[in-house]
Structure 1
Amino acid sequence: MPTAPQTTDELYRALQENHRRPYGLTRTVTAEELVDAAERFAEPVPLVRALFELQEAYTYGSEPRKSPVVFARLLTLFDEQPDVFDDRMRHTLFWRFKWVANALRALPEIPLAGLRQWLTEMRDRYEKAGLGLQPYYGQAYQLAAHVGEDTALAYELWAGRARTRLSDCEACEICERALYHLAAGDDERALRAWEPVLAGKESCQEEPARSFSYALLPLLRAGRTDQARELHLAGYRGCRRNPSMAGEAGRHLEFCALTGNEARGLELLAENRNLFDEVDSPRERFDFLTGVEVLLQRVEHLGHGALPAAGFTGRTWTVSDLHAEVRERADGLAARFDARNGTTAHADRRKARLGRAPLLDALELTLRARTLDDVAPAAPVAAPTARTAPAVPESLPELILRARELDEQGHPDARACWARLRTLVAARGYTHPDDPAAGPLVQLHADLLDDEASRAGEKDEFADAAALHEEAAGLYDDAGQPGHAALARACALLATAQDPAQDPAQDPAQDPAQDPAQDPAQEADGAEAKAAALTAAHASMVRLHEETSGLTPRQEARLLRLRATALGMRLQTSGSEEHIAPVLAEVDLLHAFATRHDVDAQISGALLLRATTHALSGDLPAALTGTDGVLDRLKEHGPAWHLPRALALRGRLHLGLHNAQAAYTDLAEGLRLAADWPADTVDASRLHSDLAGACLHLGRPDEALRHLTRSAEIDLRLGNRFDAFCTYGNAAQLSLDLGRVEDCIALLDSVLAEPDVTAGELDDRLVAQLRLTRARALHAGEDLKAATAEFVALAAESAGWDDDPGSHAMIAAETAVLLGESGEFGRAREAVDQALAAHAEDPRHEQLSNCLRELARLQAERQGPEGLAGARAFLADAGRVADEARAAGYEAHGRPLDAALAYEHGRVNAYAGEYEDALTALEKALALLGEPGQDREHAGEWAECVRLAGAVEGVYLERTAPALTRLDAAVSRLTALGHTEGTEPLASLAARLRDEK
């Protein structure tokens, strides 16, 4: 706290601000400082309020040892100065007797006699104050359940009594009743008792998250797996990283372990690593550690004890090491509780939880379904999947010859041979075979460099690829292999032409996440420069071809293929019609040569290039016909590894021609065949992504989501992390659009917990976009507090985006709306001012107008006449934005800004009771909207404006006759146009006015 409050008003504001903070160290320390500040005032009330805030911070910050101490001070103040406590503070004081009882139960060092003595104190105080004893009996029952005594009588004494004002909330009592039935082994009765909480009808500070965590396993046992999945996603979010709900977090880990989601369990464990050190409550720590142990025990049982695991600070942990540590600590806590209670209840509960067998082999909990193999330390991507791994010759000369033979064919299995050779050559004591067929060692080094260069090029590491190809070419020269040297140099030319560093229009400091379309001139310059580089590369390849003698047919075909590829890339870059014919000419040359010399791989390659060229030129039917021919030839002559690529192309062409079903068929078949080849042979990630697009066109969004997440996981395994996170972002946005809010949040929570994200190594704008989607999902899920906190953080960060003020304007505007929904209109005003300042640099007319109008509505609706001035200020800003839009010739995608603004003036004035002004504004809005026509959306907007005008005129201004005339005319107009769905609200209002008349 920078400066201690100097007045009680400042203290109360500081208390209110601290109350908005999440529970944790910052809130607790600030509460302690505010108590110190309150003690300096002569008045006792500020101290009482500060102590209440401190006790709450200790209670929900999982510090049960300190909560009773603070309460003792409050009780002393109450005994000494009861008149200081108004009705609200008195209610709070007696309510918190239960907090202290709960805190004392959580501390095994407090003797059982001390717990019973406190309950006696509570009972005496309640009786003296004339309060009902149901809350006391509730605490007595919870003590019996905690100790492990027979709870039947204690339960009846509590549950059979009528509730009082000081009883626990309905949701908490429902949970206790359900847990009683659960302990008795009656899952069905427990779930019936829980129904109001599970259905969202009852809630409180800890509910429904607490009930959700306990209900997960009973739901699974009852076969209600879908509901269990939903409650896991929603419930975990309610307790994650929260020290006071560590036990709930532990039960979610247990749920993961018992449903085949051990990998997710380890992920959630890492996310909650703070609980190992921040949970001061022995009871919460016991519950958490037992849940952790269930997970670790399962992972170790599956043979993954060597996996890294997040645990106590001060050292790194494997699953096995952490399991042993957790078991020892949890056993110790159980022993302490049981020694205090004189029972074996805690040890028995641990034994029961640890002895449970998995309830399901696999339950897909999130869109990002992963296994323990997926979270193992990164290893080289396995080559084949569905087929047997290629046989690699044991004999070194045979291996060298086999690698070169497969490489000449373009066969995917060449990679496995080169990988084996790379290992052998790098080994100490390698001896090259003295075999003329194997060639000299320098030639093998050249082969390995050339393979390494090809892999770098596939990762778009063009500068490295070019350098490696050049180095390989030099070694080929030394080995007397001019044909191979020429091919390597041609590959280097192509890689250099693709290298962005060679683009004079490319600014190395430019943010890679920035949309280049924001600067069309720079984009055009970059395309022109790249096209020129590809032209030069092609010319150099032609000269190289002409100057190199002794090329084999396969080498010459590959060189012709590279020439055609360079021109194809130029066409793709420029989009120029004059670049089409040169590509087709080169393709014809390649096709004729490959056909003459029977080079099958290059024949199909030429056909694919021709089809691709037609596609790039916009002639999709010709491209489709060409692809049909490619597939026919591949099926008859091969090579088979080209089939997935050809099917992928035809699938994309079908999508372009709006034949989603045919696209789906081709893409799915391409994906099936791709499994027959090493992972880097076919772009399986792209296939999944394209399949997602086809699924969306076919109205199969759930399948689209699966393909998007699989696409991202493939990219992640291959090291294409930027692409992977972009695809995850698309999947998250789609799930949000589909209303699958919890799926969206869970996916983004998982992605944002990736090590390179938390370490700040991923592009900051991409991470910001992921966080923005998550914040919107939190808002859609009605977690206003969490959504607002994230938006505020994003608004602060985006304020520094000098190169992208428009994005900051939109983020600040959304932040302002959320602050308005929370009733914080002062802070909303500050956020709006930021948005307007950024908007002045990079206009976002419609977004800002929408934000300002919504804020005006919120303030007028919440505050009535008192909020009218603030609401009108927002509308005045919206008016200026509309004027700017009109002057700039901007047309809104939704309602015209002027009409929308006039309507909002009407609504705001109506909320504030300024009905004449409201009616005038609504008349203006109707004039701006114009008469309804065939457009359904416009007719709906017009009808709503008429309805509100009719309500203001007929109900509030009591001008029934003109209001009825207005409404009847509107109903007739809409009916004549066929918009009958819009007439019901108007007719209903008219009927009401007639009845009142």
Structure 2
Amino acid sequence: MPTAPQTTDELYQALQENDRRPYGRPRTVTAEELVDAAEQFAEPVPLVDALFELHEAYTYGSEPRKSPVVFARLLTLFDEQPDVFDERRRHTLFWRFKWVAGALRELPEIPLASLRQWLKEMRDRYEKAGLGLQPYYGEAFQLAVHVGEDTTLAYELWAGRPRTRLSDCEACEIGELALHHLAAGDDERALGAWEPVLAGKESCQEEPARSASYALLPLLRTGRIDRARELHLAGYRGCRRNPSMSREVGRHLEFCALTGNEARGLELLAENRSLFDEVDSPLDLFDFLTGVEVLLQRVDHLGHGELPAAGYAGRTWTVAALRAEVRGRADDLAARFDARNGTTAHTGRRRARLDRAPLLESLELTLRTRGLDDVTPAVPVAAPAARTAAVVPESLPELIGRARELDEQGHPDAQACWARLRTLVAARDYAHPDDPAVGPLVQLSADLLTDEATRAGEKDDFATAAALHEEAAGLYEDAGVPGDAAIARACALFAAAEILAQGEGVDGTEVKVAALTDAHASVVRLHEETSGLAPYQEARLLRLRATALGMRLQTSGSEEHVAPVFAEVDLLHAFATRHDLVGQISGALLLRAGTYALSGDLPAAVTGIDGLLGRLKEHGPAWHLPRALGLRGRLQIGLQDAQAAHADLTESLRLAADWPAGVVDAARLHGDLAEACMHLGRPDEALRHLTRSAELDLRGGSRTDAFCTYSNAAQLCLDLGRVEDCIALLDSLLAEPDVTAGELDDRLVAQLRLTRARALHAGEDLKAATAEFVSLAAESAGWDDDPGSHAMIAAETAVLLGESGEFGRAREVVDQALAAHARAPRYEQLSNCLRELARLQAQQHGSDGLADALAHLAEAGRIADEARADGYRARGRSLDTALAYEHGRVNAYAGECDAALAALEKALTLLGDPGQEEDHAGEWAECVRLAGAVEGIYMERPAPALNRLDAAVSRLTALGHTEEAEPLASLANRLRDGG
């Protein structure tokens, strides 16, 4: 807190601001400071309110040792100055007796006799105040459950009594009833009791998140798997990183461990690492640690004990080491509680959780499905999936010869040979064969550098690729193999051109075209100047020449660049045919089809690919089949034959699985399949392919591409209404190390956060959505190069603040949006924002909010004028029409019926005839309906209102808009019935 409040008004403002903060140390520290500030005032009421805030912060910040101390001060103040406590404060005080009872249970150092004495104090106080005892019996029941006593009588004394004003909320009591049935082994009865809470009909601060965590395993045991998945996603979000809900976090970790989602469990554990140190409640910590141990035990049993795990701060943990540490601490806590309670209840409950067997072998919890192998650092070269693994010769001379032979063919199995050779050469005792057929060590070193350069190029690391190819070329020259040196140098030239082609700027296209033209000319010269080339070497140079010109055509799109590509492709094809180089023949035909596609002749491209596929099936090479099918699939998308595209791309992916990773760009195939699925109206399938594409890019090191694809997937997920899936996906991405370390592009991260904020809003988590939007608005204010995005974010933020009733803050953010809009106009977004704020102001405050609402609409009017002058056209109805309609709504909310009806008449004039379009007809019908309601109900003029409505119904019906006419007919019938 920068400065202590100097007045009680400042104190209450600070208390209000602190109430908006999440529970945890920052909120608690501020609450402590506000108590100190309140003690300076002569009035006792501010101190009472500050103590209530501190007591709440300790309770929900999981600091039970401090909670009773603060409550004791409040109780003393009540005894000494009861008049200070009005009805609301008195109610709060007696309500919180229960909080103290809960806090004392959580501390094993508090004797059991003291817990019972506090319950007696609570009972005496309630009886003296004339309050019902059901809340007291509720605490007595919970103590019996905690201790492990027979709860039959305690349950009946509590559950059999009628509720009072001080009873726990309906949601919490339902949770306790369900847990009672669960402890008795009756899953069905427990889930039946829980239903109102799990369905959202009853809720409170901790519900339904608390009950959801306990319902997960009963749902699985009773076969309600989809419901369990749904509640895991929504429930976890309600308790993540919250010290007072660490028990619930532990239950979600346990759920992951028992459903084959150990990798997600480790991810969630990392996200909640702070709980190891922030949870001060021994009972909460005991439950949390037991859930953690269930997860770590499962991972360890699966043979992954050496995986990294997030644990206590100050050291690096493996799963096995953290499991041992957690086990020791949890065993100690169980023993302390059992010693205090005189039972073995906590040890028994802990053992029951640890002894549970997995309930499902596999359950897809999130869109980002990952296994424990994905947690392990990626292996550079993946083994073939379906085809028999490459046979790597044992003899070193044979291995070197086999690697070079496969490399000449472009065969994927060369990867395994080079990987084995790299390991052997790196060993201290490596002895190079003295064999003329093998050549000197310097030649093998050049081979390995070339393979490494190729891998770097596949990851778009062209600077590394160019340097490695140049180094390899020098070694090849030293080894006396000029043909290989020429190829390496040509590859270096090509990689250097790729670096220039990646550049950006005003003349970016010209620079790229020039770079590729120069690269082609250089490779031609190198080709002509190098003698004694073997056929496979000459074919590679010809392939590079044709590829350079193909990329130039792709960059420029110029018709003049088409013929040179075909000329080079013809040279390659003729040469490869003459020397029977099947891989290069296929490569030439792929290049030819691609050139037809780039020139706009898609049918010719498909014909070429069809011919190539026939040849590949007969002559090979087989590893070119998935690539050719992938190209045909993309061409079919271009020809708008999504069904054929889907078939080709699916088959391409199936065949790609037979070869090592990297032979085919599987990430692109999944991306193309997603596009085909969208054309076919199968968005859920598209979503699966998008997430698969992104994860493959992520594992392959193309992180920016991966996050962009994941961003698209998240937006599609949100569009499909899968809100919790969207949030879970984005939470997982935003927890990635390079994101948390600030290494990923900040605008891309902002886009992910923006989508998450919108998803939170769609999921009706207004508080979390508003907090995220406010944070994004503050950050984007510094985007001097992109004021338009700030205007858009600030506009959305203002609307959410308005929905929360914080119109003062909303006004401040709107001013930021307007300032950014002046630099980069966002007419529609700002107009929408101002109109919505006007509606919210009038809706929430009626006539008292009319002046501010009309001020917002006046600004929206100025924006509409600017848009009209600038020739801007809105995507839907015009800004003027939308503004007129909003004037109607706002005035109607404020009771200004004449002004409302006049505005709606204007809106109808601007809308014109309803026409054939459904969207336009719907807007027209809604405008008529509101005008009819204002005139017929609020102005009590049913006759003209009925004339308006009947005419509109007839017009809509004649145009075939029967659905749009129904609300108008319903309102007309209501008016006729006198309602």
Same fold (TM over 0.5): yes
Q: What is the match of residue 740 of structure 2?
A: 758
Partner secondary structure for residue 217 of structure 2: helix
Distance 2:441 2:77 in 1: 91
> Which one of 809, 812, 818 corresponds to residue 800 of structure 2?
818
Q: What is the match of residue 155 of structure 1?
A: 155
Distance 2:301 2:444 in 1: 46
Question: Does residue 1:901 correspond to 2:873, yes or no?
Answer: no
> Which one of 506, 509, 512 corresponds to residue 530 of structure 1?
512
> Which aligned pairs between 1:704-723 and structure 2 lie closer than 5 A?
704-723=686-705
Deviations 1:146-178 (A, max 9, x none): 111110111011111111111101110001111
Question: 1:836 Cα deviation (Å)?
Answer: 1.1
AA matched with 2:261: N
Q: What is the match of residue 550 of structure 2?
A: 568
Q: What is the match of residue 937 of structure 1?
A: 919
Partner secondary structure for residue 487 of structure 1: helix
> Which one of 833, 845, 851 corresponds to residue 833 of structure 2?
851
After superposing the two structures, state which structure 1 stretch, 484-493 or 969-978, moved more: 484-493
After superposing the two structures, state which structure 1 stretch, 15-24 or 555-564, moved more: 555-564
Deviations 1:561-614 (A, max 9, x none): 111111100000001111111111111121111111211111111111111111
Question: Does residue 1:452 correspond to 2:452, yes or no?
Answer: yes
Deviations 1:650-679 (A, max 9, x none): 111111112122111111111111111110
Q: What is the match of residue 48 of structure 1?
A: 48
Question: Does residue 1:410 correspond to 2:410, yes or no?
Answer: yes
Question: 1:55 Cα deviation (Å)?
Answer: 0.5
Partner secondary structure for residue 168 of structure 2: coil
Q: What is the match of residue 267 of structure 1?
A: 267
Q: What is the match of residue 660 of structure 1?
A: 642
Deviations 1:533-574 (A, max 9, x none): 111211222222222222222222111111111110000000
Q: Can you give the 5+ residue segments of structure 2 that lack an aligned partner in the other structure?
A: none
Distance 2:975 2:57 in 1: 53
> Which one of 841, 847, 867 corresponds to residue 849 of structure 2?
867
**Preserved CA contact (<8 Å) 1:383 1:680:** no
> Which aligned pairs between 1:643-722 and structure 2 lie closer than 5 A?
643-722=625-704
> Which aligned pairs between 1:269-668 and structure 2 lie closer than 5 A?
269-500=269-500, 503=503, 506=504, 522=506, 525-668=507-650
> Which one of 892, 905, 910 corresponds to residue 874 of structure 2?
892
Partner secondary structure for residue 103 of structure 1: helix
Partner secondary structure for residue 967 of structure 2: helix
> Which one of 958, 962, 975 corresponds to residue 980 of structure 1?
962
> Which aligned pairs between 1:67-86 and structure 2 lie closer than 5 A?
67-86=67-86
Partner secondary structure for residue 63 of structure 1: coil
Question: 1:485 Cα deviation (Å)?
Answer: 2.1
Distance 2:548 2:178 in 1: 70
Q: What is the match of residue 515 of structure 1?
A: none
**Preserved CA contact (<8 Å) 1:11 1:38:** yes
**Preserved CA contact (<8 Å) 1:856 1:871:** yes
Partner secondary structure for residue 660 of structure 2: coil
Question: Does residue 1:840 correspond to 2:822, yes or no?
Answer: yes
Deviations 1:231-289 (A, max 9, x none): 11111111111110111111111111111111111111111111100001111011101
Q: What is the match of residue 519 of structure 1?
A: none
- TM-score of the superposed pair, with normalisation by structure 1: 0.97
AA matched with 2:612: V
Q: What is the match of residue 114 of structure 1?
A: 114
Partner secondary structure for residue 219 of structure 1: helix
Distance 1:463 1:455 in 2: 12
Distance 1:277 1:857 in 2: 46
> Which aligned pairs between 1:904-923 and structure 2 lie closer than 5 A?
904-923=886-905
> Which one of 725, 730, 749 corresponds to residue 748 of structure 1?
730
**Preserved CA contact (<8 Å) 2:105 2:143:** yes
Q: What is the match of residue 104 of structure 1?
A: 104
**Preserved CA contact (<8 Å) 2:501 2:515:** no
**Preserved CA contact (<8 Å) 1:806 1:842:** yes
Q: What is the match of residue 781 of structure 1?
A: 763
Partner secondary structure for residue 438 of structure 1: coil
Q: Can you give the 5+ residue segments of structure 1 that lack an aligned partner in the other structure?
A: 508-521
AA matched with 1:984: E
Distance 1:788 1:670 in 2: 45
Distance 1:163 1:910 in 2: 42
Deviations 1:425-445 (A, max 9, x none): 333343322211112223222
Q: What is the match of residue 140 of structure 1?
A: 140
Distance 2:477 2:701 in 1: 33
Distance 1:434 1:376 in 2: 39
Distance 2:535 2:567 in 1: 19
Distance 1:767 1:502 in 2: 22
Percent of paired sites with the same residue: 84
**Preserved CA contact (<8 Å) 1:806 1:843:** yes
Moved over 6 A (4+): none
AA matched with 1:200: G
Distance 2:502 2:260 in 1: 50
Distance 2:257 2:333 in 1: 22
Question: 1:204 Cα deviation (Å)?
Answer: 0.4
- TM-score of the superposed pair, with normalisation by structure 2: 0.98
**Preserved CA contact (<8 Å) 1:381 1:718:** no
Question: 1:502 Cα deviation (Å)?
Answer: 8.0
**Preserved CA contact (<8 Å) 1:926 1:946:** yes
Q: What is the match of residue 242 of structure 2?
A: 242
Q: What is the match of residue 65 of structure 2?
A: 65
Q: What is the match of residue 803 of structure 1?
A: 785
Distance 1:199 1:557 in 2: 67
Partner secondary structure for residue 803 of structure 1: coil
Distance 2:295 2:457 in 1: 42
Distance 1:398 1:716 in 2: 36
Distance 1:228 1:976 in 2: 49
Partner secondary structure for residue 601 of structure 1: helix
Partner secondary structure for residue 996 of structure 1: coil
Question: 1:321 Cα deviation (Å)?
Answer: 1.1
AA matched with 1:990: A
Deviations 1:871-914 (A, max 9, x none): 12221221121111111111111221110011111111111111
Deviations 1:790-849 (A, max 9, x none): 111111111111111111111111111111111111111111111111111111111111
**Preserved CA contact (<8 Å) 2:501 2:516:** no
Partner secondary structure for residue 977 of structure 2: helix
